[in-house]
């Protein structure tokens, strides 16, 4: 079993060089907030992430990979929509 402190540390380090804050809610779920350090812009905010399945380094790595993928997809979608607006 991974301690809460260790779990938070692993998740927060998984988003470097971005700044990540991971907090444990009273119900055991996580809130993960990733920001761009220079601008303070929020890149990702996820709430209600269940900590129950995060019992191994592989499970934590998979979560970080999924969240990084969501960040990339949302940036790609935003820039795609932005270019359509400008050209339209």
Q: Is residue 35 within 8 Å of 42, Cβ to Cβ? A: yes
Return the pLDDT at 77. 63
Using one digit for the tens of pLDDT, what is the confidence trace for 45-59?
A: 999 999 999 999 999
Cα–Cα–Cα angle for 30, 66, 70, nearest 5°?
Answer: 95
Using one digit for the tens of pLDDT, what is the confidence trace for 8-49?
A: 999 999 999 999 999 999 998 999 999 999 999 999 999 999
Alpha-carbon span 64 to 36, nearest angstrom: 16
């Amino acid at each position: 079993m991974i301690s809460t402190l260790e779990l938070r540390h692993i998740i927060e380090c998984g988003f470097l060089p971005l700044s990540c804050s991971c907090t444990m809610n009273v119900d055991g779920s996580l809130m993960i907030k990733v920001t761009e350090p220079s601008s303070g812009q929020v890149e990702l905010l996820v709430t209600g992430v269940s900590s129950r399945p995060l019992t191994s380094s592989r499970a934590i790595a998979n979560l970080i990979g999924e969240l990084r993928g969501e960040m990339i997809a949302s940036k790609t979608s935003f820039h795609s929509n932005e270019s359509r607006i400008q050209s339209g």
